[in-house]
Structures are given as C-alpha cells and as structure tokens.
Structure 1
Amino acid sequence: MASTLSRLGNWFNERAPGFMPMYRKHMTEYYAPKNFNLWYYFGSLALLVLVNQIVTGIFLTMNYKTSAAEAFNSVEYIMRDVEWGWLIRYMHSTGASLFFVVVFLHMFRGIMYGSFKKPRELVWILGMLIFLVLMAEAFMGYVLPWGNMSFWGAKVIISLFGTIPFIGDTLVQWIMGDYLPADSTLNRFFALHVIALPLVLLLLVVLHLAALHEVGSNNPDGVDVKHGPKGNRWSPDKPKDAIPFHPYYTVKDSFGVGFFLMIAAFIIFFAPTFGGWFLEHDNFTPANNLVTPSHIKPSWYFTPFYAILRMIPSFFGTAIWGVIGMFGAILLLALLPWLDQGAVRSVRYRGMGYRIALGVLVVSFLALGLVGAGVTAELIPAWFPGADVTTVENAFGRLMVLGYFGFFVFVWIYTRFGFEKTKPVPERVTMHD
C-alpha cells in the first residue's frame, strides 16, 4: 500500500509539480506560534461551516423553486417528502447561525490580541470584506424560504436604501425588481445567494489565508516569533517558539471540530429552531403582504446593527442617519488598524483603560442584540412596572449605541495621545497554563 501511494504521489508530482511546494508552504512548512489557545479554534471552525453551507446548499437547490407561488411549498416539500431533506435543511439553517457565532468570536479574538495591527492590516481588511459578503449572503438566503418574516424582513431592509437622497426610491425598485418583494426579487436573490456571493466569498477566504501565511499568525502574547541561529529543535533556520501547522495544529483543530460538531448535532436534532432564534416562528407561515408580523425583526446576527438603526433618531425628516450609523458600525471595525495606534498588541499587556473599553464594547454589542431582537421590550414591563416601554427601551438602546461607538473614539484618543500605560511585553512567546 505504501509503495502504491508513493508511486501515485510521484505520478501526480510529475504532472503538477507546483502543488507540492504550495502544500508545504501552507501546511508542513508554515510555522505557527506554539502558544495558541482556545480562541484560535474559530478560524478553522469558520472554514468547516463554510464547507457545510456550500454542500448542504447544493442539495437544497435541487428541490427549491424560485417562484413566489412555489418557494414556500418547495421548502415544505424538502422538509416533509425529500428523503433526509429535513436534516439537510436544518444543517443549513443551523450552520448559518453557527457561522456567525464562530465569525463573531474569531473577530473578537483579533481585537483582543491585536491581530489587526501591523503587519496584518491587509489580513484584517480582507476579513472584514468576508464579514460583509457573509452578511449579504445570509440576508439573501433568509429571504428564499419565502415565509412571512422573510417577506417583511426583505421589504424593511431593502426599503432602507430609500433613505438615500434623490435616488432612494428608484434604487429600492431596482433591487427588488418590483414595487414589493416578488418573483423577480426571489430570482435575483437566488442567483446572488447560490452563485455570485459564494464565489466572491471563496475568493476572499483564499486571499485572507494567503495574506495571513505571508506575514504569519499572531499569538496571545502579540509578539513575533524569533528567528536566528538557535532556531528550534526541527531545524536551525526555522523560527523559534513555532511549530509546523501540519500535523500539530491540524490534529489540535480536529479536537475542536469534534466538540463543535457535537454541539451542532445537539441543536440540529433536539432544538433546530433554538427557541425561535435560529428559525423564527413567523417564517413557518407563507408570505402574505396583507398580514404583518407583530414584531418585524431580522435574524439574531443582524439585531445589533438593526438596533443601531432603530435607536438613532431621525433628523430633518429623514432616517438616513440611522442607516449611516448601521453601516458606520461595520466601517469602524474595518478602520480599527488605524484608530488603534497603541504599540502593544495583546490585551494581556495593554492598559486598564483598553481592557475596560473592550468590556464595554462586548456588553454594548450583546445588549444591542437584545434590543434589536425585542427582548428588552418584553422584559421592561416586568422590571419597571408602569414605565413607558418605548421611553425606557430607547434610553437603554441609545446608551448602548454610545457605548459601542464610544469604544472606537476612546481607543483613538487613548492611544493617539499617549494616555495608555502598558505592561512590559516579553521578548518571546510565553506558554501560559
């Protein structure tokens, strides 16, 4: 068997000599810091979920009908009549939510350990482009089941472009292809969701990984691995404090993959709707332009940005400021490499002010998610009997908006004018328990 595999490998290498050097560069000869911790699982998990979404999506398209009259029934047909169709559909819907879980945690790790700082600015920018494309991909996929929440969610989100001066109404009709979400909307969203955006997403992922492997991975200490004559135990010309990605981190990541798949399987088999968070109850009824859901809200992974849109009041008779705030919340994340001018990368050695500000960012983001999902509106009557729900919710939501945007303003002032007092940074990576 070994001889046969060896001959097969030699045959392949003779006809495609460029593949083996590429494999070595990105796997066996790519050295990663040896002090990676739990936070470094989420990059590989995001790649795993991406593969799941592509494979399950291919099978779903085999029975889906891109027609306003047939879309909802085709999803029901997949769930009820196609063999194992319910499993594939739940793998896809659960995978969409878990995709954002791992991406949010992956982004938080980057902010926490300074992975956006020089020389990794391009890696961060490509990651933010992936995030934007992923949001567009998720939104268009959310519309395709053509349930009632899909219909009204599409109408509300697309209508946001109507706030753009002069061209807003024309742009809304151009996107939908009609005056309301209809057949043309489904057809173009299906084409973008199944073909165009996945191709862009795959290209960006490849560029993201290629850029990362050019500059090397960051680590929890935020210091570069050392090069020199002492090297490491494998070879004197290789980095110190680093180990080959394969087989060491591929084996380690396989443990994280196994644990992640157990969680995903539990959700798929026992709680596929996740209490209405992963699949909204209103989306189990067909789209109806005459029946508005009691609470129109997007999927949970959009709710923090939706809350920013809602909480910023209209000025001069236009709601464009809320739209600017919603997109500005994402843009500020992309500008973080230039807003944060601190010399230290990792939160382990940064000043107390940065740590507190990072905590405020996390709390504000999670709280805005609850506001956008309508959870706070349900809790306010129990916590503040007799209080006006709208007034309290607006006050709380706007405070959280200030907390979110305040993080970026504070970090720029804190680092730009030298207020940050950092701890001594070690010369080489450390192995913390």
Structure 2
Amino acid sequence: MSFAWAKQYEPKTAFTQWIDEKLPLPRLVYNAVGAGYPVPRNLNYMWNFGVLAGFCLVLQIITGVVLAMHYSADTTVAFGSIEHIMRNVNYGWMLKYAHANGASFFFLVIYLHIFRGFYYSSYKAPREMIWLLGVVIFLLMMATAFMGYVLPWGQMSFWGAKVITGLFGAIPVIGEPLQTWLVGGFAPNNSTLNRFFSLHFLLPFVIAGVVILHIWALHIPGSSNPTGVEVKQESDTVPFHPYYTAKDGFGLGIFLILYTAFVFFAPNLLGHPDNWVEANPLSTPALIVPEWYFYPFYAILRAFTGDLTIPFTDVILIPAKLLGVIAMFSAILVWFLLPWLDKSPVRSGHYRPLFKKFFWFGLIPCMLALFYLGGAKPEEPYIVFSQIATAYYFMHFLVILPIVSQIEKPKPLPYSITEAVLGDDVPGGTSGGGDMPPPRDAVKNLPADGGAAPEPAE
C-alpha cells in the first residue's frame, strides 16, 4: 500500500546513488522493512510470528545445507551417517539437534501465526491472496518435514514412510501406480530415501520463493491489525523501523532462549526414541506415530474406521481408508475457503462476541484434543474422541463460522486505529498530516472494514 506520508529513500553518497540507479536493492529493503514502510501503530506481539517464521526458515536452510554435506542417502549407511555427524563432525551434534528442534519450533511458530489469522480474520479482503499463499507455504512445509523425518532411517522413519506413502494406495484407479512411483518400489527402500532426500533439499528453496510472494502480497494492502480497521491517517501508523524492528528483536530474543534451552538441555524431548533404532522392515514398532506437529491430521485420518456404504446394503461407496485420506487433506484445504465462508463485515474477534466464544471454547479445545489424540494409541476411547473432535473441526469451519458471521451482532468499531489506541478525542494527525476524526455519535453507517470516512449524520 502506498501512503503519501511514508518517508522516501534518499541515497546520500555518490556510491549509494549509483547503486540506487543500477540496482535499487537498498530502496527495496528500506520500503519493505525500514522507515519507508508505515505499519499500524497498534500491532501486538501476535504479529511477531511472521518474522519468527522467516528466521526459522533461514535457520533450517543453513543447518540443513551443512548437514547435507555429511549425510549419505543410502539405506545401508544413512543411519550410520547420522551417528557420524553426531560423534565425528565438529559441532555436528549441535547442527543435528538445531535442525531437528528447529523443525518443531518452526511448526509451533506457524501454528500460532495461523491461529492469529483465524482470530483476527486475516484472510478477509483485501488480504485473501496473502492467506492463500500462507496455506500453500504450510502444505509445502508439511511435505518437507515428512521427507526429512524419513532421512535418519530409524524405525519410526521407515514405518512412518510406509504408513504415509501407503495412503496414496487408497486413491481409486491411480493410487497403487502413484504409490509405487513415489516410493520407487513396493516398500520404502533405497530409491525412496534418495527421492525424499532430493525433495527435502529442494523444497525449502521453493518455500523461500513462496514466502517472497507472501511478503509481496502483504505489502500491497499493508498489514492488518487487532482492530481490523484500515489505516485512514498518518497518526494510525508508525515506521516499521525502528519501532517494529525493536519489537520483533525482543520477540526473537525470547524465542531464542526457549529454542536454545531445547537444543542444549532437552534435544530429544520432541522426538521419538524408536527413531534411534536403525530401520528394520521385520520389526514393527508398538506404536507408529509421526512427529508431534502432524498429530491433529493423523488423528483425523485414524478417526474413520468404517466404510461408507449404501444404507441397508453391503455395497461400499467409499472405503474407510480413503475416507480418512480425504478428511486429512480436507482439514487443510478447507482453509482455502475461509475468505468466502466467513461473511462477517467485521474482522477482529475482539468485536465479535459470538465468534469469540466459538473460537476459544470450541475450535481451540478441539485442536488441543486432536494434538493429544494423534499421539495416543489407536484404541477406545481415543478413537471415539477423535471422531467427535474431527466432526466438530469440520463443523466449525463449514457450518458454525458461516452461520455465526450472518447472525451475530458485532460490537461498535473504533473510527480509526488512533482512536482505538489513544481514545475518542485525539486529533487525527498528531504529526501534522491528518484531520480531526468526527465524534462517534456524529457518524452513521460506519463501514466495518474501516474503509472511507462515512457521511455525517443529518
């Protein structure tokens, strides 16, 4: 978004002027994350997670490239190469633990980032493309993480690969050929490991490309904010630097304290002990589970235990396995529809009392339950609880959210971001660039999206 009051980049030396003319990279950075990018003044710490996600991506790429220099994608030596990295490579243990725990913290940051988007309706116009690209990034992350989980070639790596790739066999007609092509045979083998290693190395750079598009799309409408009201005047914004670089720096410091605590003091806490046992196709682990960040979708997959049949007959319409696969992928694909499912003119959950109740007492407990159930044993009562949580999950997005957006009565929105921060009687342009906002009682038909100033009441 272009703001008339935004500071413009002015190169001060002959060299910087020459660079700006030939390759305006400093201008691009200045306008993207510097004083030339005005940002709503009321962003809270939930807006730190975008920067933290970018940091995690860079961290994973750097540690992954170094680890790849010492890893061997061969089933006969893959497990041993991990031991070699841990024991013989200088600081190899730290690189391995930094990469493994970095994946967990990356997903933790992304989940918080996504649920902030749910609560503040960051998917609504004019930011639909930002949201859609974000969901694409999440899908690419899941594919990358799954392939990376296979590379150590431990027990959980092998059997996790066997279970997940076996899901493709449930697809009618093309399922089995697709599974054979993906695995490179009839079971995970050396071809599987080579393919997954190649894709695991490549996909982070694809993610980085989509992240650039994500940031580009963000800078067109500008950042959202906790009120959901659009920027109207200069006093609604502050420069990204130094205000939000300092705020993001503080958030990054807290993140690094937690992250390094895991890397140095509890490096295996988020992993599975069976993966420190070399893969053995003849010995099945007692409980096959993916990494913790896949638990909700794994719980949804396992919730389907019966075939869909024609009533009063034994004719199977959709097998249980295919139903689980469809539901698992649909649990993420439904996010693509949120900009059109939620029709409320108000964005922020702060001003939507009914939506807020269903979010905090419905969706959040449901997701926490799915996280727990995905790692539990596939037995009763966990299966029944998984089915209940799965049913509510889809009902929330496909039924509750559209109905609530139509029937609830939102609270009154502030006229501007400045009013929300400083009160009703604050001049609109404290630095000389804005106008005095009209009193609340002199405004009618205030647009919920914080658009153009409304007509005064007669």
What TM-score, normalized to structure 1? Answer: 0.89
- The correspondence for 2:330, drawn from 309, 328, 331, is 328
For 2:130 and 2:159, the matched residues in 1 are separated by 36
Q: What code does the residue aligned with 2:182 have?
A: I
Match for residue 19 of structure 2? 12
Corresponding position: 1:201 with 2:196: no
Corresponding position: 1:189 with 2:178: no
Match for residue 277 of structure 2? 285
Relative to structure 1, the CA distance from residue 6 to residue 268 in structure 2 (aligned partners, 3 Å threshold; closer, same or farther) is farther
Structure 1 residue 79: Cα displacement:
0.4
For 1:14 and 1:121, the matched residues in 2 are separated by 34
Corresponding position: 1:394 with 2:383: yes
For 1:358 and 1:167, the matched residues in 2 are separated by 41
Match for residue 26 of structure 1? 32
What are the Cα deviations for residues 72-105 of structure 1, in whole angstroms up to 9, with x where unaligned? 0001100011110000000000100000000000
For 1:215 and 1:151, the matched residues in 2 are separated by 45
Over 4 Å off, 4+ runs: 5-8
Structure 1 residue 306: Cα displacement:
0.4
Retained in 2: the 8 A contact 1:32–1:217? yes
Corresponding position: 1:90 with 2:105: no
Q: What code does the residue aligned with 1:411 have?
A: L
Retained in 2: the 8 A contact 1:152–1:292? yes
Structure 1 residue 357: Cα displacement:
3.9
Match for residue 301 of structure 2? 309
Retained in 2: the 8 A contact 1:176–1:185? yes
- The correspondence for 1:244, drawn from 239, 246, 262, is 239
SS at match of 1:335: helix
Match for residue 128 of structure 1? 135
Retained in 1: the 8 A contact 2:305–2:320? no
- The correspondence for 1:419, drawn from 407, 413, 424, is 407
Structure 1 residue 356: Cα displacement:
2.2
For 2:341 and 2:356, the matched residues in 1 are separated by 13
Corresponding position: 1:211 with 2:199: no
What are the Cα deviations for residues 326-384 of structure 1, in whole angstroms up to 9, with x where unaligned? 0111011221111111111001001324432453111111111111111xx5xxxxxxx
SS at match of 1:426: coil
SS at match of 1:391: coil
Retained in 2: the 8 A contact 1:364–1:404? yes
SS at match of 2:421: coil
Retained in 1: the 8 A contact 2:74–2:194? yes
For 1:158 and 1:89, the matched residues in 2 are separated by 25
For 1:143 and 1:109, the matched residues in 2 are separated by 31
Structure 1 residue 412: Cα displacement:
1.2
- The correspondence for 1:256, drawn from 251, 270, 292, is 251
Retained in 2: the 8 A contact 1:354–1:411? no
How many residue pairs are counted as aligned between the two chains?
A: 398
Retained in 2: the 8 A contact 1:133–1:201? yes
For 2:320 and 2:44, the matched residues in 1 are separated by 47
Q: Which moved more, 1:23-32 or 1:133-142?
A: 23-32
Retained in 2: the 8 A contact 1:358–1:407? no
Question: Aligned Cα RMSD in Å?
Answer: 1.7
For 1:256 and 1:63, the matched residues in 2 are separated by 33
Q: What code does the residue aligned with 1:104 have?
A: Y
Retained in 1: the 8 A contact 2:133–2:210? yes
> Residues 341-420 of structure 1: matches in 2 within 5 Å?
341-374=343-376, 377=377, 390-408=379-397, 409-415=399-405, 418-420=406-408
SS at match of 1:421: coil
Retained in 2: the 8 A contact 1:314–1:322? no
SS at match of 2:43: coil
- The correspondence for 1:170, drawn from 161, 169, 177, is 177
Retained in 2: the 8 A contact 1:340–1:411? yes
Corresponding position: 1:106 with 2:113: yes
Retained in 2: the 8 A contact 1:60–1:88? yes
SS at match of 2:413: coil
Structure 1 residue 423: Cα displacement:
0.5
What are the Cα deviations for residues 270-304 of structure 1, in whole angstroms up to 9, with x where unaligned? 00111xxx221000011110011110011000010
Retained in 1: the 8 A contact 2:119–2:359? no
Q: What code does the residue aligned with 2:291 have?
A: S
SS at match of 1:218: coil
What are the Cα deviations for residues 305-334 of structure 1, in whole angstroms up to 9, with x where unaligned? 000000123312441111111011101122
Retained in 1: the 8 A contact 2:30–2:36? yes
- The correspondence for 1:69, drawn from 69, 76, 83, is 76
Unpaired stretches in structure 2, ≥5 consecutive residues = 1-11, 308-315, 424-458
SS at match of 1:32: strand
For 2:89 and 2:15, the matched residues in 1 are separated by 40
Structure 1 residue 128: Cα displacement:
0.2
Q: What code does the residue aligned with 2:267 have?
A: P
Q: What code does the residue aligned with 1:420 have?
A: E
Question: Could you say which structure has the larger radius of gyration?
Answer: 2
Retained in 1: the 8 A contact 2:354–2:404? no
Retained in 2: the 8 A contact 1:309–1:322? yes
Q: What code does the residue aligned with 1:171 have?
A: L
Q: What code does the residue aligned with 2:71 have?
A: Y
What are the Cα deviations for residues 16-72 of structure 1, in whole angstroms up to 9, with x where unaligned? 2x2233223212211111111121111100001111000000110010001000110
Q: Percent identity among equivalent residues?
A: 46
Structure 1 residue 6: Cα displacement:
4.8
- The correspondence for 2:267, drawn from 266, 272, 275, is 272
For 2:27 and 2:359, the matched residues in 1 are separated by 44
Structure 1 residue 257: Cα displacement:
0.7
Unpaired stretches in structure 1, ≥5 consecutive residues = 232-239, 378-388
What TM-score, normalized to structure 2? Answer: 0.84
SS at match of 1:108: helix
